[in-house]
Amino acid sequence: MSELIAPQTTVLVLSFNEAPNLARCLDRLDWAPRILLVDSGSTDETLKIARRYANVEVVHRPFDSFAGQCNFGLGLIDTPWVLSLDADYELSEDLVREIQSLREGPAQGYSAAFIYRIHGRALRGTLYPPRTVLYRRQAARYRDEGHGHRVTVAGEVGSLAAPLYHDDRKPLLRWVDSQKRYAHIEADHLLASPKEALSRVDRLRLKAWPAPLLVFFYTLLWKGAFLDGWAGWYYTLQRVIAECLIALTLIDRRLAK
C-alpha cells in the first residue's frame, strides 16, 4: 500500500503582520510535523502567536515578492510534500481529514476550492479560484503573476473534495493600502504582457472601464452575493474598489504618455 502523505508534509506559511488571522490558520495544523513560517518583518503580535505552537519554526526574510518568499521557503524544506497556505487560510475539518487520509499516487499536486468568508460569515459564491496548495516539493516552483504568485507543478494535479476557507480579518485600511499597491503591480503586468498571453478577464481589465462595472453585476447577481446580506455587499464593494483602482491606474498611465 502506498504511503500516507500527511506525515511527509511540511506546511509553508508566509506572514507579515497577520495577528488577526494566524491563530485560526495554525489551530487546524496540529497534525503537521513541521510548519515553516517565513516572516517578512512583522511588528504586531504575529511572532508571539507563532511561538505558542510547538510545531512552528519561524525564519525571517525581507520581502521581495510572494514567489521569492515561497521559493526561499521551499529551499528550507526537505520533506517530499509541502502544504502551502496564506496566513488568512483555514483548513475545514473535512479538509484536515481528507489530507490525513490521502495516500501517494500518480498526482504530483492537489488543488483546493475556497469558501470565502467575511469576518466568519461564509459567502455562497466568490471570484476566488481554486489553488494548488499541496504538492511534491521537487515538482514545484513559484513564479510571480501580477500582484500575486502561482505555483507550477510538473505533473498531474488532482482536486481535493473538501474546501479551504479564506477569511482575512486585517483592518480595512490595511486592505485599502494593499489594493493601491497591487493596482500598480497589476497595471505593470497588464501593460507589459502581450495581449495574446493575457486571459479574457485580463484583456477586459486592460480596457480599464468595463471591468469595475462587470465585476459589480457579476459578483452581486451572477455569483449571488446579494443573497448573503451585508457580507455579500461588503465583498462586492471590495472587488469593485480593487478593479476601480486598477482601471484608474491604467488610465493614469495612458494620460501621462
Q: What is the pLDDT of residues 92-108, one digit of tens each?
A: 999 999 999 999 999 99
pLDDT tens digits for range 114-165: 999 999 999 988 888 899 999 999 999 999 877 778 899 999 999 999 999 9
- Local mean pLDDT, 10-residue blocks, the chain (257 residues): 94 98 98 98 98 98 95 98 98 98 97 96 88 97 83 97 97 94 92 90 90 95 94 96 96 89
- Residue in the block written with cell 449571488: 224
Using a 10 angstrom Cβ sphere, with 0-12 exposed, 13-18 middle and 19 or more buried, the burial of residue 43 is exposed
Topology annotation, domain 6-166: Spore Coat Polysaccharide Biosynthesis Protein SpsA; Chain A (3.90.550)
Rounded to whole angstroms, how far apart are CA atoms 97 and 239? 32
**Pairing, β 81-86 against β 131-136:** antiparallel
- In Å, how far are 13, 71, 241 from 115, measured between CA atoms? 19, 26, 21
Beta bridge partners of 15: 39
Q: Round to whole Å and give the CA distance between 12 and 35.
A: 6
The C-alpha atoms of residue 22 and residue 190 are separated, in whole angstroms, by: 32
C-alpha–C-alpha distance, residues 112 and 13, integer Å: 16
β-partners of residue 159 are 111
- The DSSP code for 152 is E
Report residue 244: phi and psi, to 5°.
-65, -40
User: What's this model's pTM, rounded to 2 decimal places?
Assistant: 0.90
Report CA-CA distances (Å) from 105 to 2, 6, 61, 80.
7, 13, 34, 13
